[in-house]
Structure 1
C-alpha cells in the first residue's frame, strides 16, 4: 500500500479535535435515549484528552470499540438516531488512528464523525435531509487548514455507505473545493 504522507502528532490531534467537535453535539441525542450508557461520552472524552496532549494509547481504541457496541445496542433497540450519535463518538475516537495510507477509506477517520452526527440529527428530526445538510455546513466551518491539508493528501471519500456516505462525500467535496479556491490553504504545505 502506498503511503499518503507521514502524519505528525499535531496533525493527528487536529483531525481528532475536528472529529470531536463534530461528534460531541450529537451526544445529547444518545444520552436522551440511552441515559444509562456512558460509552459514547467516554469515547469522546478520551479522544479530547488525546487532542489535549495525552498519548495515543489502547485506552482510546478500547473506548472507540465500546462506542461501537453502544451503537449496536441502540440500533438493535430501534433507536437509530442514538445509534448514529454513538457511531459519531466512535469515529471521533478513531480519528487518533488515522493511517498514512493513500486509501479512500481513511477519509472516514477524518470526516466520519461529521457524517454520523449529521445523520443522527436527520433521524432525530424525522429523517429530514435538510437538517443533515445544515449540520454538514456547520462541520465544514469547523475544519481548519490543518484538517483540510491532511484531507487533501488522501483520495476522495469512498462510494457507498448509504446516507452517511452521501453526507461524508458532500463534506469531502466542499472541503476540497475550499482548498482549490485557496480558502483552506494549509500553512506549511
Structure 2
C-alpha cells in the first residue's frame, strides 16, 4: 500500500465540539452518511467485497432499532478486516470509515473516527498534496453541514 501523510484541517475541532452534543443514534447516522460518501473508494478497488457496505447498513439498522449492537460490532470488525485487505490507502480508509460507523452503535466516539477516515479516503484519492488538502477541506465542510442538518 502506498504511503501518504494525511493532514487534517482546522474545522475538525468544530466538528468534534458539535458531535459531543449529539445523541449516539444521531452520530451513528452521521457516521454512516460520512462512510457512504467514500464507499466508492473501496468498491473501486474491491467491488466483490461487501463488508464495508454491510457495516454501513448495520449502522443504519441499529439507528432504526432493527439491528442489535452486537450485529453492528460484528459488521464493524468485518469492515476493518476489509480495510486490512484493501491494498490501497483510499480504499482502506473508506473501509475503516464504514467500520467506525458501525462501531458507533457500541461507543459514540467512533463517529468522529468514521468522519476522519472518510476525510482520509478523499485525501488519499487525490493526485497530489494540493488536491489532497482541498478534498479534505471540502469533505470536512460537508461533514459539518450534515451534522448540523441532523441536529434539527
TM-score after normalising by structure 2: 0.77
Counterpart selection for 1:90 from 96, 99, 105: 99
Q: Is 1:132 aligned to 2:144, yes or no?
A: no
Query: 2:89 is matched with which residue?
Result: 80
Counterparts of 1:15-54 in structure 2, within 5 Å, are 15-54=27-66
Deviation at 1:146, TM superposition (A): 7.1
Give the gaps of 5 or more residues in structure 1.
1-9, 100-105, 148-185
Deviation at 1:57, TM superposition (A): 3.0
Give the gaps of 5 or more residues in structure 2.
1-21
Give yes or no for contact 2:69–2:105 (8 Å, CA) kept in 1: no
SS in 2 for 1:144: helix
Query: 2:15 is matched with which residue?
Result: none
* Ranges of 4+ aligned residues in structure 1 off by more than 4 Å: none
CA–CA distance in structure 1, aligned partners of residues 56 and 126 of structure 2: 23
Tell me the matched-pair count: 128
TM-score after normalising by structure 1: 0.63
CA–CA distance in structure 1, aligned partners of residues 111 and 35 of structure 2: 12
SS in 2 for 1:35: coil
Query: 2:120 is matched with which residue?
Result: 119
Distance 1:57 1:96, change over 3 A: closer
